[in-house]
Amino acid sequence: MKFAVIVFPGSNCDIDMFHAIQDELGEEVEYVPHTAESLEGYDGILLPGGFSYGDYLRTGAIARFSKVMGEVVKAGNAGVPILGVCNGFQILLEAGLLPGAMRKNRDLAFICKPTQLRVVNNNTMFTSNYEIDETITLPIAHGEGNYYCNEETLAMLKKNNQITFTYHVENPNGSLEDIAGITNAQGNVLGMMPHPERAVDELLGSADGLKLFQSIVRNWRESHVVNA
């Protein structure tokens, strides 16, 4: 499986994402600049965390208009697996690939620490290697991770089982219903604030994030065997 790590001006977790895929997962991966005009040849797309375009205007709001994002949207609509982490999640929201919006943290402070999550839905291409209700530990590092949506959207997320991860024990940022990660209705786009790419080896304090990447590869390969 071949992954693209999209690099925006201000990305700072692209190297972490590259390492997780190449060194821990053992899959092919390349950096793709925000100016790219095509994503053909890539089986999965990764939007890393950071401060794209300095977080000016609003997190993800400028990156959403990068040339490559037209191709990301096209790939998402075509069913290609797309993972957006932290700033990547914010960009996916701004691009309309995921519903809702991101607000400043409840305490208006940047938070950087390990956080416990609960796996709410393990029936997705991103979470199938986890157990339902499994508690995992992933780090967070954000100033605007307070997920919000209106009542109608929240009802839709629950009805379609689009909520994948929730904060467990402590909600660090005030996110609605403790939401830490959601998918689109089709199930091929996941946005999450915690960083799985920073938890792929016990030397980092947790290897719980590795299962997420393994889930992507497993489901991609199974779908391609079925369709072969």
Q: Is 142 a catalytic residue?
A: no
* Identified catalytic residue from 13, 27, 86, 142: 86
Q: Is 195 a catalytic residue?
A: yes
Provide CB contacts within 8 A for 3, sequence distance 6+.
Answer: 21, 27, 28, 29, 30, 42, 43, 44, 45, 46
* Identified catalytic residue from 27, 71, 144, 197: 197
* Identified catalytic residue from 34, 142, 168, 195: 195
* Residue 219, Ramachandran bin (φ over 0: left; ψ between -120 and 50: alpha; else beta): alpha
Neighbours of 159 (CB within 10 A): 9
Residues annotated as part of the active site:
86, 195, 197
